[in-house]
Amino acid sequence: MDPEIQEELDYLEEVLEEYEKYVNNIGSNGYTAPLMLYYRDEIEESLRELAPEADIDLKPYWKRVAGLDNVVRARAAIAVKEIGYNNFKQYQIINDPPKLHWWWYLNKIVAPPPRESPGWQFWKR
């Protein structure tokens, strides 16, 4: 196998492991939670780069990613709360991800957090 392709496969495996850690810890990732979105981007990019290689079977990688993606979708409300509903809007502006990169738009599939009343309306809290 071409050393460059092997290097890309090794990188893909590393990134998949990191993504899996973040997915399995949704709700406990704290301030590093947005890294889950960036790892998912890296996976997508690696799989797209490797796709033209006819001698590589990417099905096991796609299946693994699909399973993890299903967990993210199922736990979307928790992930959005952890990352921050409004932070998603900022990431969408900063990164300008394509609509096919659905993980950047999780905030669109969950209800927004309730609006807090202004501080001077303390009796409404």
Q: SS in 3 state form for 61-93?
A: HHHHHHHHHHHHHHCHHHHHHHHCHHHHHHHHH
The band of 41, judged by pLDDT with boundaries at 50, 70 and 90, is very high
Identify the domain containing residue 51 by its residue range.
Answer: 3-124
Q: pTM of the prediction?
A: 0.87
- Residue 52 pLDDT: 86
In 3D space, the residue among 82, 72, 81 whose CA is nearest the CA of residue 111 turns out to be 81
Q: How many independent structural domains does the chain possess?
A: 1
* pLDDT, tens only, 57-80: 999 999 999 999 999 999 999 999
Query: What's the chain's Rg over C-alpha atoms?
Result: 18
Q: How far apart are CA 40 and CA 24, in angstroms?
A: 14
CA distance 107 to 60: 29
Cα–Cα separations (whole angstroms), residue 55 to 16, 50, 95: 21, 10, 33
Count the residues in the chain: 125
Show the tokens assigned to 119. Answer: 């501080």
- Which tens digits make up the pLDDT trace of 90-119? 999 999 999 999 999 999 999 888 777 666
DSSP run (H or E) holding 25: none
Answer yes or no: is pLDDT of 32 > 60.
Answer: yes
Does residue 15 contact residue 42 with C-beta atoms inside 8 Å? yes
